[in-house]
Amino acid sequence: MLHGSWRANRNGGINHLVLTRIAPRQRIRRRIATALVGVFLALPLALTLVFRIVPPPVTPLMLIRLAQGYDMHMEWRSLDAISPHLRRSVIASEDAKFCAHWGFDLDAIDNAIDNYEDGGKVLGASTISMQTARNVFLWPGRNFVRKGLEAYLTLYLEALWPKRRILEVYLNIAELGPGLYGAEAASRHYFGKAASALSPHEAALLAAILPAPLHRSPSRPSAYVMRRAEVILARAQQVRLGHDGACRD
């Protein structure tokens, strides 16, 4: 009995010793996990608040392109210094419901899901708000992880930025050619004029290259780009900008 009791006490002591060693590790892991979750939630929130006022100085895509050997040309302009023809053309081309939705075009998402289920690729459904969130915070790609992060960050933008700011940031950081970002840099490169002076046709040509700006040119447009620009030009005439230059009536 004494031997059995000693063995039980010895095992109990060992178990207690193991538990006392494991417990601090578990607490450390929990603290690290809590800290990571806090950073994951707080950092995008902080940057979203900062970029509501301050222009984003650089984006992940710009850094990736630099690593690939491209230059980086970007000249920030306020929304009022960007032609309303380009604003209308981009809305008509990329997100016709931009002023009506809260970041997500549910009809477009349904169509994209149907296309995927039919064996197609994960294409479309990205609103201007979603593209802005992706351009500001994320890397290019079409996998579901990146799409999930994009949707999460879009909620921040829609909650904390007015539509005017979303459109303004988008038009200043969107990739519009090799090493070209934003309306001003692209307008000067392709047409030799400020973004404020773009004609309706020039604006439609710029909007027409947005899905593939590294392979299309508005100054030397292919037959496809010309056809797409004509469609955008017709649709842009139906886009009404609010008194804030974007959506507000």
pLDDT by 10s per residue, the chain, length 249: 444 444 444 555 555 554 455 567 676 666 665 555 555 567 889 999 999 999 999 999 999 999 999 999 999 999 999 999 999 999 999 999 999 999 887 766 655 555 555 555 555 568 999 999 999 999 887 778 888 889 999 999 999 999 999 999 999 999 999 999 999 999 999 999 999 999 999 999 999 999 899 999 999 999 999 999 999 999 999 999 999 999 987
Residues 111 and 9 in one domain: no
Whole-number Å distance between alpha carbons of 23 and 27 = 6
Indicate whether 161 belongs to any domain. yes
Whole-number Å distance between alpha carbons of 182 and 30 = 43
Residues 45 and 76 in one domain: no
Q: What is the pLDDT of residue 44?
A: 87
Q: Closest by alpha carbon to 56, among 166, 130, 185, 207?
A: 166
Residues 96 and 40 in one domain: no
Q: Closest by alpha carbon to 225, among 79, 129, 132, 89?
A: 89
How does DSSP classify residue 55? Answer: P
Question: CA separation (Å) from 80 to 19, 87, 203, 244, 246?
Answer: 65, 10, 15, 9, 10
Where helices occur in the chain by DSSP H, the ranges are 2-51, 60-67, 84-94, 106-117, 128-137, 144-160, 163-173, 183-191, 200-208, 223-236
Q: Does residue 130 contact residue 151 with C-beta atoms inside 8 Å?
A: yes
Residues 43 and 59 in one domain: no
Tally of structural domains, the chain? 2
Residues 27 and 141 in one domain: no
Whole-number Å distance between alpha carbons of 143 and 61 = 16
Indicate whether 134 belongs to any domain. yes
Whole-number Å distance between alpha carbons of 23 and 17 = 10
Q: What is the pLDDT of residue 145?
A: 83
Residues 32 and 145 in one domain: no
Sequence-distant (6+) residues with CB within 8 A of 85 are 198, 199, 200, 202, 203, 204, 236
**For residue 27, what are its two tokens?**
């607490």
Whether the model pTM is above 0.85: no
Residues 32 and 5 in one domain: yes
Residue 57 neighbours by CB distance under 10 Å: 9
Residues 42 and 64 in one domain: no
The C-alpha angle with vertex 134 and arms to 213 and 98, in degrees rounded to 5, equals 85
Q: Are strands 180-181 and 73-74 parallel, antiparallel or unpaired?
A: parallel
Residues 43 and 57 in one domain: no
Residues 36 and 143 in one domain: no
Residues 18 and 130 in one domain: no
